[in-house]
Amino acid sequence: MSLSRTSIQKPISTFMIFLAVLVLGAVSLTRIAVDLLPDITFPIVAVYTDYKGAGPAEVERMITEPIEKTVGTVNNVKEVGSYSNEGTSLVIIEFNWGTNMDLAANDVRESLSFISDIMPEDANEPMVIKFDPSMMPIMMLRVSGDIDPARLKQITDDDIIYKIEQVEGVAAAYSEGGVEREIQVELDRAKLQATGISPDQIKGVLAMENLNLPGGYVKRGNKEFILRTVGEFRDIAQIENVILTSRGGVPVYLKDVARVKDGFKKKGVKYG
Protein backbone atom coordinates (compact mmCIF):
# COMPACT_ATOMS: atom_id res chain seq x y z
CA MET A 1 0.00 0.00 0.00
CA SER A 2 1.46 3.36 -1.02
CA LEU A 3 2.08 6.22 1.39
CA SER A 4 -0.21 8.60 -0.49
CA ARG A 5 -3.13 6.10 -0.50
CA THR A 6 -2.71 5.48 3.24
CA SER A 7 -2.65 9.21 3.92
CA ILE A 8 -5.90 9.72 1.95
CA GLN A 9 -7.66 6.81 3.60
CA LYS A 10 -6.58 7.84 7.12
CA PRO A 11 -6.46 11.64 7.11
CA ILE A 12 -6.86 12.03 10.86
CA SER A 13 -3.96 9.69 11.67
CA THR A 14 -1.80 11.40 9.06
CA PHE A 15 -2.64 14.84 10.47
CA MET A 16 -1.80 13.71 14.01
CA ILE A 17 1.57 12.31 12.88
CA PHE A 18 2.50 15.55 11.10
CA LEU A 19 1.30 17.59 14.07
CA ALA A 20 3.47 15.52 16.42
CA VAL A 21 6.49 16.05 14.14
CA LEU A 22 5.89 19.82 14.06
CA VAL A 23 5.54 20.01 17.85
CA LEU A 24 8.71 17.98 18.44
CA GLY A 25 10.58 20.12 15.91
CA ALA A 26 9.45 23.36 17.56
CA VAL A 27 10.41 22.13 21.03
CA SER A 28 13.81 20.91 19.80
CA LEU A 29 14.47 24.22 18.03
CA THR A 30 13.96 26.21 21.22
CA ARG A 31 16.37 23.95 23.12
CA ILE A 32 19.24 23.92 20.63
CA ALA A 33 22.35 25.36 22.28
CA VAL A 34 23.97 28.31 20.52
CA ASP A 35 27.76 28.52 20.89
CA LEU A 36 29.94 31.21 19.35
CA LEU A 37 32.93 28.87 19.58
CA PRO A 38 31.66 25.29 19.19
CA ASP A 39 33.70 22.34 20.36
CA ILE A 40 35.91 21.95 17.30
CA THR A 41 39.43 20.56 17.51
CA PHE A 42 41.67 22.17 14.93
CA PRO A 43 44.57 19.95 13.77
CA ILE A 44 47.19 22.56 14.67
CA VAL A 45 49.99 22.40 17.23
CA ALA A 46 52.37 25.27 18.00
CA VAL A 47 55.88 25.00 19.44
CA TYR A 48 56.97 28.20 21.19
CA THR A 49 60.55 28.71 22.36
CA ASP A 50 61.97 31.70 24.24
CA TYR A 51 65.64 32.55 23.58
CA LYS A 52 66.22 35.96 25.12
CA GLY A 53 69.00 38.13 23.75
CA ALA A 54 69.31 36.31 20.42
CA GLY A 55 68.67 37.96 17.06
CA PRO A 56 66.26 36.60 14.43
CA ALA A 57 69.09 34.98 12.43
CA GLU A 58 70.44 33.11 15.47
CA VAL A 59 66.93 32.06 16.50
CA GLU A 60 66.26 30.76 12.99
CA ARG A 61 69.51 28.79 12.80
CA MET A 62 69.77 27.47 16.37
CA ILE A 63 66.12 27.02 17.37
CA THR A 64 63.63 27.11 14.51
CA GLU A 65 65.42 24.97 11.92
CA PRO A 66 66.19 22.04 14.28
CA ILE A 67 62.59 22.04 15.53
CA GLU A 68 61.20 22.13 11.98
CA LYS A 69 63.33 19.17 10.93
CA THR A 70 62.41 16.98 13.88
CA VAL A 71 58.65 17.71 13.98
CA GLY A 72 58.42 17.18 10.23
CA THR A 73 58.96 13.45 10.84
CA VAL A 74 55.86 13.10 13.06
CA ASN A 75 53.00 11.05 11.59
CA ASN A 76 50.12 12.81 9.79
CA VAL A 77 51.92 16.15 9.51
CA LYS A 78 50.49 18.12 6.59
CA GLU A 79 52.51 21.33 6.72
CA VAL A 80 55.09 23.06 8.92
CA GLY A 81 55.55 26.84 9.11
CA SER A 82 57.61 29.05 11.39
CA TYR A 83 58.23 32.60 12.59
CA SER A 84 61.63 33.64 13.96
CA ASN A 85 61.75 36.94 15.81
CA GLU A 86 64.14 38.57 18.22
CA GLY A 87 64.32 36.24 21.21
CA THR A 88 61.39 34.02 20.21
CA SER A 89 60.67 31.13 17.85
CA LEU A 90 57.22 29.91 16.84
CA VAL A 91 56.75 26.75 14.78
CA ILE A 92 53.22 25.98 13.52
CA ILE A 93 52.48 22.32 12.72
CA GLU A 94 49.33 21.50 10.75
CA PHE A 95 48.08 17.90 10.79
CA ASN A 96 45.60 16.09 8.58
CA TRP A 97 41.95 16.39 9.61
CA GLY A 98 40.85 13.51 11.80
CA THR A 99 44.19 13.19 13.59
CA ASN A 100 44.00 12.52 17.31
CA MET A 101 45.51 15.78 18.57
CA ASP A 102 46.30 14.46 22.05
CA LEU A 103 48.48 11.74 20.54
CA ALA A 104 49.89 14.18 18.00
CA ALA A 105 50.94 16.63 20.73
CA ASN A 106 52.63 13.80 22.63
CA ASP A 107 54.45 12.74 19.47
CA VAL A 108 55.69 16.32 19.00
CA ARG A 109 56.96 16.43 22.60
CA GLU A 110 58.78 13.13 22.12
CA SER A 111 60.39 14.34 18.91
CA LEU A 112 61.60 17.50 20.66
CA SER A 113 63.29 15.42 23.35
CA PHE A 114 65.72 14.11 20.73
CA ILE A 115 67.13 17.58 20.05
CA SER A 116 67.29 18.81 23.65
CA ASP A 117 71.07 18.25 23.70
CA ILE A 118 71.72 20.49 20.70
CA MET A 119 69.53 23.37 21.85
CA PRO A 120 71.30 26.45 23.27
CA GLU A 121 71.75 26.37 27.04
CA ASP A 122 70.24 29.84 27.44
CA ALA A 123 67.07 28.89 25.56
CA ASN A 124 63.97 27.92 27.51
CA GLU A 125 62.39 24.52 27.02
CA PRO A 126 60.02 24.52 24.01
CA MET A 127 56.34 24.69 24.88
CA VAL A 128 53.90 22.55 22.88
CA ILE A 129 50.48 24.19 22.61
CA LYS A 130 47.37 22.74 20.98
CA PHE A 131 45.27 25.32 19.16
CA ASP A 132 41.90 25.75 20.84
CA PRO A 133 39.43 28.53 19.89
CA SER A 134 38.20 28.62 23.47
CA MET A 135 41.65 29.89 24.52
CA MET A 136 40.98 33.22 22.83
CA PRO A 137 40.01 36.03 25.21
CA ILE A 138 36.34 36.90 25.45
CA MET A 139 36.80 40.18 27.33
CA MET A 140 39.41 42.92 27.07
CA LEU A 141 39.87 45.63 29.71
CA ARG A 142 41.95 48.79 29.47
CA VAL A 143 43.80 50.15 32.49
CA SER A 144 44.99 53.76 32.66
CA GLY A 145 45.87 56.30 35.32
CA ASP A 146 47.88 59.40 36.15
CA ILE A 147 50.75 57.48 37.72
CA ASP A 148 54.14 56.22 36.67
CA PRO A 149 53.71 53.77 33.72
CA ALA A 150 55.93 51.14 35.32
CA ARG A 151 53.96 51.37 38.56
CA LEU A 152 50.71 51.05 36.61
CA LYS A 153 52.02 47.91 34.92
CA GLN A 154 53.02 46.45 38.28
CA ILE A 155 49.61 47.16 39.80
CA THR A 156 47.93 45.52 36.80
CA ASP A 157 50.05 42.37 36.98
CA ASP A 158 50.11 41.98 40.77
CA ASP A 159 46.67 43.22 41.84
CA ILE A 160 44.12 43.60 39.04
CA ILE A 161 44.87 40.33 37.24
CA TYR A 162 44.86 38.47 40.55
CA LYS A 163 41.41 39.84 41.40
CA ILE A 164 40.04 38.98 37.95
CA GLU A 165 41.29 35.40 38.21
CA GLN A 166 39.30 34.98 41.43
CA VAL A 167 36.02 35.62 39.59
CA GLU A 168 34.01 32.44 39.12
CA GLY A 169 34.23 31.12 35.56
CA VAL A 170 37.47 32.92 34.65
CA ALA A 171 40.05 30.44 33.41
CA ALA A 172 43.03 32.80 33.11
CA ALA A 173 43.90 36.46 32.72
CA TYR A 174 46.87 38.00 30.93
CA SER A 175 48.25 41.50 30.44
CA GLU A 176 49.63 42.99 27.26
CA GLY A 177 51.35 46.26 26.56
CA GLY A 178 52.39 48.79 29.13
CA VAL A 179 55.96 49.33 30.27
CA GLU A 180 58.01 47.31 32.71
CA ARG A 181 60.96 48.60 34.69
CA GLU A 182 64.38 47.34 33.64
CA ILE A 183 67.87 48.19 34.87
CA GLN A 184 69.98 48.62 31.73
CA VAL A 185 73.77 48.31 31.55
CA GLU A 186 75.19 50.06 28.49
CA LEU A 187 78.75 48.90 27.84
CA ASP A 188 81.49 51.11 26.42
CA ARG A 189 83.31 49.05 23.77
CA ALA A 190 86.50 51.13 23.87
CA LYS A 191 86.81 50.85 27.65
CA LEU A 192 86.13 47.11 27.53
CA GLN A 193 88.93 46.62 25.04
CA ALA A 194 91.27 48.76 27.14
CA THR A 195 90.61 46.75 30.29
CA GLY A 196 90.34 43.35 28.58
CA ILE A 197 86.96 42.61 30.12
CA SER A 198 84.38 40.71 28.07
CA PRO A 199 80.58 41.18 28.19
CA ASP A 200 80.19 37.57 29.32
CA GLN A 201 82.49 38.24 32.25
CA ILE A 202 80.37 41.23 33.30
CA LYS A 203 77.22 39.14 32.97
CA GLY A 204 78.69 36.43 35.19
CA VAL A 205 79.87 38.86 37.87
CA LEU A 206 76.49 40.61 38.04
CA ALA A 207 74.68 37.29 38.30
CA MET A 208 76.91 36.16 41.17
CA GLU A 209 76.63 39.46 43.04
CA ASN A 210 72.84 39.76 42.72
CA LEU A 211 71.92 36.80 44.92
CA ASN A 212 70.27 36.11 48.26
CA LEU A 213 71.87 32.96 49.67
CA PRO A 214 70.88 30.80 52.66
CA GLY A 215 73.32 31.04 55.57
CA GLY A 216 72.20 28.12 57.70
CA TYR A 217 70.55 28.58 61.08
CA VAL A 218 71.35 29.52 64.65
CA LYS A 219 69.94 27.86 67.75
CA ARG A 220 69.06 29.93 70.78
CA GLY A 221 67.42 28.00 73.55
CA ASN A 222 64.49 26.11 72.08
CA LYS A 223 64.30 28.38 69.01
CA GLU A 224 65.97 28.22 65.62
CA PHE A 225 66.68 31.30 63.53
CA ILE A 226 67.18 30.93 59.79
CA LEU A 227 70.00 33.02 58.38
CA ARG A 228 70.45 34.27 54.85
CA THR A 229 72.91 36.50 53.08
CA VAL A 230 71.15 39.40 51.38
CA GLY A 231 73.06 40.29 48.23
CA GLU A 232 70.44 41.51 45.78
CA PHE A 233 70.95 45.01 44.45
CA ARG A 234 68.75 47.71 45.94
CA ASP A 235 69.78 50.72 43.90
CA ILE A 236 71.83 51.73 40.86
CA ALA A 237 74.78 52.88 42.98
CA GLN A 238 75.33 49.32 44.25
CA ILE A 239 75.36 48.04 40.68
CA GLU A 240 77.78 50.72 39.52
CA ASN A 241 80.22 49.89 42.31
CA VAL A 242 80.45 46.18 41.55
CA ILE A 243 84.11 45.20 41.19
CA LEU A 244 84.69 43.35 37.92
CA THR A 245 88.42 42.69 38.21
CA SER A 246 91.64 44.43 39.22
CA ARG A 247 94.54 45.77 37.19
CA GLY A 248 97.82 46.28 39.02
CA GLY A 249 96.05 46.12 42.36
CA VAL A 250 93.54 48.75 41.29
CA PRO A 251 89.91 47.55 41.21
CA VAL A 252 87.91 48.05 38.01
CA TYR A 253 84.32 48.98 38.78
CA LEU A 254 81.33 48.49 36.50
CA LYS A 255 80.87 52.25 36.26
CA ASP A 256 84.37 52.47 34.76
CA VAL A 257 83.36 50.52 31.66
CA ALA A 258 79.58 50.93 31.45
CA ARG A 259 76.67 53.23 32.12
CA VAL A 260 73.89 51.94 34.38
CA LYS A 261 70.46 53.50 34.07
CA ASP A 262 66.94 52.85 35.25
CA GLY A 263 64.84 52.31 32.12
CA PHE A 264 62.04 50.24 30.63
CA LYS A 265 61.90 46.98 28.73
CA LYS A 266 61.18 47.04 25.03
CA LYS A 267 57.51 47.15 24.26
CA GLY A 268 56.09 43.90 22.97
CA VAL A 269 53.16 41.53 23.17
CA LYS A 270 53.28 38.95 25.87
CA TYR A 271 52.66 35.45 24.49
CA GLY A 272 49.92 33.75 26.35
pLDDT digits (tens, 9 = 90+) for 210-230: 887 777 888 888 888 888 777
In the CATH scheme, what is the code of domain 44-134?
A: 3.30.70.1430
* Burial label, 1 (beta-carbon count in 10 A; 0-12, 13-18, 19+): exposed
Per-residue model confidence (pLDDT) at position 63: 92
Q: Is the overall model pTM greater than 0.85, yes or no?
A: no
Residue spans of the chain under pLDDT 70: 1, 34-39, 132-137, 267-272
Per-residue model confidence (pLDDT) at position 257: 92
Q: Which sequence spans correspond to the domains of the chain?
A: 1-32, 44-134, 137-179, 181-264
Q: What is the pLDDT of residues 245-272, one digit of tens each?
A: 888 888 999 999 999 998 887 764 343 3
In 3D, which of 175, 87, 72 has the Cα closest to residue 124? 87
Q: What distance in Å separates the CA atoms of residue 253 and residue 202, rounded to the nearest whole number? A: 10
Q: Reduced to 3 states, what is the DSSP secondary structure of residue 81?
A: strand
> Could you tell me the fold of the domain covering 181-264?
3.30.2090
**Burial track 89-101 (b if 16+ CB lie within 10 A, e otherwise):** bbbbbbbeeebeb
Q: What distance in Å separates the CA atoms of residue 95 and residue 76, rounded to the nearest whole number? A: 6
Contacts 24+ apart (CB under 8 A), 145-152: 149/178, 149/179, 149/264, 150/179, 150/180, 150/181, 150/264, 152/178
